[in-house]
Amino acid sequence: MNLLFNLTTTQVELIGYIGSFLTSITFLPQVYQSVGDLSIWMIVIVITSTLIWLVYGFGITGGGPVIVANSVVLVLSLLLLYFKLTFKK
């Protein structure tokens, strides 16, 4: 991509952080749903995928945006899992 658009490393990283922010806030509507409406499997899959993305983010150079986005989503997912298990109907 960098070759296509001739972006600097700083510009690419900024785009990554913007993408991270947008990825993180797209998950917020789940927080406001009724606990009964949440799928336990969706939550488990999201937690698993964010853990994999975090390993990847720590393993690459310039993985800051990946780490930031997936850390936020992981915290929100763990909260959803806690609420789902604690406040079952």
> pTM score, two decimals?
0.72
Confidence (pLDDT) at 87: 83
What is the rounded distance in angstroms from the CA atom of residue 79 to the CA atom of residue 10?
Answer: 33
Confidence (pLDDT) at 16: 76
Residue 71: band (very low, low, confident or very high) from pLDDT cuts 50, 70, 90? very high
Kindly give, in sequence order, each residue whose CB lies less than 8 Å from that of residue 38, ignoring residues fewer than 6 positions away.
30, 80, 83, 84
Question: Could you tell me which residue, 4 or 33, shows the higher pLDDT?
Answer: 33
Alpha helices in the chain (DSSP H): 2-5, 9-26, 40-59, 64-86
Query: What percentage of the chain reaches a pLDDT higher than 90?
Result: 8
Let me know: does 67 contact 24? Beta carbons within 8 Å.
Answer: no
In the Cβ-directed half-sphere of 36, how many Cα atoms lie within 13 Å? 1
Residue 60: band (very low, low, confident or very high) from pLDDT cuts 50, 70, 90? confident
pLDDT > 90? residue 33: no
The domains of the chain, with CATH numbers, are: 2-86 (1.20.1280)
